[in-house]
Structure 1
């Protein structure tokens, strides 16, 4: 059993050692912040996006870097998951992306404001958070009678935009969203020219279409049409 003086000495030495470790770890962390946060990529556009994020209280619904609410999706890595086309479309008109399903408010952002928010989310997604957040375990779409058979069929090379945008609403080989029709065999149902017209402007082809007009480039439209027309 320690004497009173020995206990006091033990306490003081322990406090000094622990305090020293805390200071050293703090200094080490602060020194790594510029490198891990990629501070060189914080452009005026990113700063504007951060201001818009704060001013519109996006954290009231979304979580970013572990802070915020859990009412809406976590957005730290949303740029990696969805890409700029999907994000811009959601910010422009959330209801058009998911008719009757989304409660996200339409903020009527200008194109410049949308670009700034996308830049901010891109920068956030590139910050080194030491493995946080963990990649989500995505739940596959509800299986159908021929899901197992379809999942074994080889697919042509998918354009990057397909995994960023299309799977949010459509399923392919049992994986993806359930908002729009499944895309297995779509090449048997629709020809290449129809798919090009549809991807450019769904509402021009079918006035009551639930699919919004996505901001796809002509190159992306051709890539998607080529890919989808091969799904037979």
Structure 2
């Protein structure tokens, strides 16, 4: 049983020790933050992008750096997963890419605002987060199905958008199927119709309707038809 003096002394010493630990950890954290290279890449575009993020309450649905809601996808590494062009197209009109599916609001951002948001997402994705968010333990891998596919030059639009979901020659995303031999399965006319409006060809498909021009559809479908 502690005396009144001992209890007071115990309280004061404990308060002092834990206050010192708290101050040291705060100092160490701030030292790390300001010494980190990311502080030097904090551009005006990134700052404006953060302001747009906060003004539109994006964290009401999305999570970034471990903070936010879990209603919509986590976006800390979205720049790495999708790439700038895919994000740009999606932000212009989410419903156009996924008719009747996406609940993402169309904010009517200007091109400059979209650029600022992309800069903000890129900056967050390049932070040294010590392994956060963790990568899936059993990540699907893509393999080269056809060696011929590797030697065929890819249209620029394919490199900008399509690789966010599809792989060719073992390189690209794994959200959608690998396209190494897609030319064996579908002819040129089918591929053109598919790229023009996937939902019309196959209702309910997860493939988004991309805002492609006629010339881009022709280039992409010609390229895909050669993958055999």
Distance 1:123 1:182, change over 3 A: closer
Show CA shifts across 1:99-127 (max 9, x none). Answer: 22111111111111111110011011112
**Residue pair 2:183, 2:227 contacting (<8 A) in 1 also:** yes
Aligned-partner Cα distance in 1 for 2:134–2:157: 23
Give the total of aligned pairs. 209
Report matched runs for 1:174-193 at 5 Å: 176-177=174-175, 183=179, 185-188=181-184, 189-190=186-187
Q: Does 1:63 align with 2:63?
A: yes
Show CA shifts across 1:147-177 (max 9, x none). Answer: xxx968466559798698436666889x844
Report deviation, 1:80. Answer: 1.1
Distance 1:36 1:138, change over 3 A: farther
Show CA shifts across 1:45-74 (max 9, x none). Answer: 111111111111111111111221111111
Aligned residue in 1 for 2:204? none
Aligned residue in 2 for 1:73? 73
Report deviation, 1:84. Answer: 0.4
Report deviation, 1:35. Answer: 3.3
Aligned residue in 1 for 2:118? 118
Report matched runs for 1:14-29 at 5 Å: 14-29=14-29
Aligned-partner Cα distance in 2 for 1:17–1:131: 31
What is the aligned-residue RMSD (CA, Å)? 4.2
Q: Does 1:166 align with 2:176?
A: no
Aligned-partner Cα distance in 2 for 1:90–1:138: 28
Aligned residue in 2 for 1:30? 30
Q: Does 1:104 align with 2:108?
A: no
**Residue pair 1:36, 1:129 contacting (<8 A) in 2 also:** no
TM-score by length of 1: 0.69
Residue 211 of structure 1, aligned match among 198, 209, 212: 209
Aligned residue in 2 for 1:146? none
**Residue pair 1:53, 1:117 contacting (<8 A) in 2 also:** yes
Structure 2 unaligned residues grouped into runs of 5+: 202-207
Distance 1:98 1:168, change over 3 A: farther
Show CA shifts across 1:160-208 (max 9, x none). Answer: 98698436666889x8446xx87462122346x997xx5xx944x99x6
Report deviation, 1:3. Answer: 5.0
